[in-house]
Amino acid sequence: MNNIKKIVFLTGTRADFGKIKTLIQILEEESSFSPFVFVTGMHLLHEYGYTLLEVERCNFSNISRFSNHTDETTMDLTLAKTIEGFSNYVKEIHPDLIIIHGDRVEALAGAIVGSLNNILVAHIEGGEISGTIDELIRHSTSKMSHIHFVANELAKKRLIQMGELSESISIIGSPDVDVMFSNTLPNLKTVKEYYEIDFEDYAIAMFHPVTTESHYMVTYANDFVEALLESDLSYVVIYPNNDFGSKAIIKAFDKLKGNPRMRIFPSVRFEYFLTLLKNSKCIIGNSSAGIREAPLYGIPTINIGTRQENRATHSHIINVSYDKNEILNATQSLPDNIDTSLDFGEGDSAIKFMEALKQDQFWEINHQKQFKDI
């Protein structure tokens, strides 16, 4: 490669930023690449912690902000607004590559803009099972992308099953593992002092809306909160994402305020969250952190409801319904001796990502996608 390649990363949530952070950092240190970060979505919402600040703390060279907020009930309009804003941005930047992650509408918007403007699109962690509407978004995003950076062989097989070319898929592991086992995480004392967490032992509670069950979310959220109040554990409670139904959950969390066993946060900085997770008694709710990160740390998960359906099959996971009594019983029977041998990489995702981008054939991938029959 003779010229400097412009790489645009699109981030819409605290979760996807945790996945792409190390990839941006490694490109910042490489003179042959110029990374740009397009920040939108939950990052710009004060109600959810205004996590734009977390992105800005990284001191990346090129950060742009765009508010795509419409209303939690109109994900289609949020998608449309993101497409419009991101389209204007890429026409200004003229990137060589767009990097997107996961199964959010922002990722789908990035893939649509890139593919319709003849720009290479690379999708991180495609080929996985998400559950609910997220699954449709993840697979649609993969089909609109030219290149795939996946976590493991199973994800690669799923993409091949979807007609993707094997040579367009690179297994790099899950990029957040790079951070999880790095020596840069703060210690627990620092984290507890920063967030004023006074209790010694605690569990983490994260409960997200299920868009396909939105009409039940008030009941689900209230039962979840009642289970937390009646259990014997102390909790670090973190707000949900901003999908349809999130307002019902946030309102239910009001019942926890002022309780000495509860600390409630709109968001927690990624590295600080990992330290809290690593030292917790368990994680309870329906977050993907209970499916991906928790088992790698040997932390039990109480997985509630259908949001992680088809993903929650590890020995450390107690799967329960939304019933309050089932949730309570699970808090009293947490498993020991958890198997931590999951296939999400060796903590070198950023290095493998960089190695792929340095190959000349990477930039010669056909912008006209082909469908490979099995």
What's 23's domain CATH number? 3.40.50.2000
Domain-embedded: residue 371: no
327-364 as b/e: b if 16+ CB within 10 A? bbebbeebeeebeeebebbebbbbebbbeebeeeebee
Cα angle 212, 309, 150 (rounded to 5 degrees) comes to: 105
DSSP tag of 214 = G
- Residue 271 in this model has a pLDDT that exceeds 80: yes
Domain-embedded: residue 374: no
| pLDDT value for 307 | 84
Model pLDDT for residues 67-83, shown as the tens digit of each residue? 998 887 788 999 999 99
Domain-embedded: residue 357: yes
Model pLDDT for residues 84-124, shown as the tens digit of each residue? 999 999 999 999 999 999 999 999 999 999 999 999 999 99
- 85 and 116 fall within a common domain: yes
- Residue 1 in this model has a pLDDT that exceeds 60: no
- 111 and 259 fall within a common domain: no
pLDDT range class, residue 251, cuts 50, 70, 90: very high
- 222 and 163 fall within a common domain: no
- 326 and 351 fall within a common domain: no
157-193 as b/e: b if 16+ CB within 10 A? ebbbeeebbeebbbbbbbbbbbbbeeeebbeeeebbe
Model pLDDT for residues 45-68, shown as the tens digit of each residue? 999 999 999 999 999 999 999 999
Model pLDDT for residues 175-193, shown as the tens digit of each residue? 999 999 999 899 999 999 9
Tokens encoding 319: 């799967």
| pLDDT value for 44 | 96
- Residue 276 in this model has a pLDDT that exceeds 90: yes
| pLDDT value for 337 | 63
> In which domain, by residue range, is 81 found?
5-181+347-364
Mean residue pLDDT across the chain: 93
- 230 and 168 fall within a common domain: no
- 281 and 229 fall within a common domain: yes
* Percent above pLDDT 90 for the chain: 83
- 290 and 272 fall within a common domain: yes
- Residue 221 in this model has a pLDDT that exceeds 60: yes
Rounded CA gap, 362 and 302, in Å? 41
- 45 and 148 fall within a common domain: yes
- Backbone φ/ψ region at 347: left (φ over 0), alpha (ψ -120 to 50), beta: left
Domain-embedded: residue 336: no
- Residue 152 in this model has a pLDDT that exceeds 60: yes
- 245 and 145 fall within a common domain: no
- 354 and 296 fall within a common domain: no
Average pLDDT over residues 225-233: 97
DSSP tag of 3 = S
| pLDDT value for 310 | 67
- Residue 158 in this model has a pLDDT that exceeds 90: yes
Model pLDDT for residues 13-24, shown as the tens digit of each residue? 999 999 999 999
- 308 and 227 fall within a common domain: yes
Contacts of 44 (CB under 8 A, 6+ apart): 50, 52, 65, 66, 67, 69
What's the domain count of the chain?
A: 2
- Residue 2 in this model has a pLDDT that exceeds 60: no
* Percent above pLDDT 70 for the chain: 97
As a residue count, the chain comes to 374
Domain-embedded: residue 228: yes
Rounded CA gap, 297 and 181, in Å? 9
Residue 255: CB atoms within 10 Å: 15
Tell me which of 73 and 43 has the higher pLDDT. 43
Domain-embedded: residue 341: no
Rounded CA gap, 16 and 239, in Å? 16
Domain-embedded: residue 135: yes
Domain-embedded: residue 337: no
- 20 and 169 fall within a common domain: yes
Rounded CA gap, 198 and 178, in Å? 29
| pLDDT value for 339 | 62
Average pLDDT over residues 356-364: 95
Model pLDDT for residues 333-355, shown as the tens digit of each residue? 888 766 666 678 888 999 999 99
Residue 212: CB atoms within 10 Å: 16
pLDDT range class, residue 214, cuts 50, 70, 90: confident
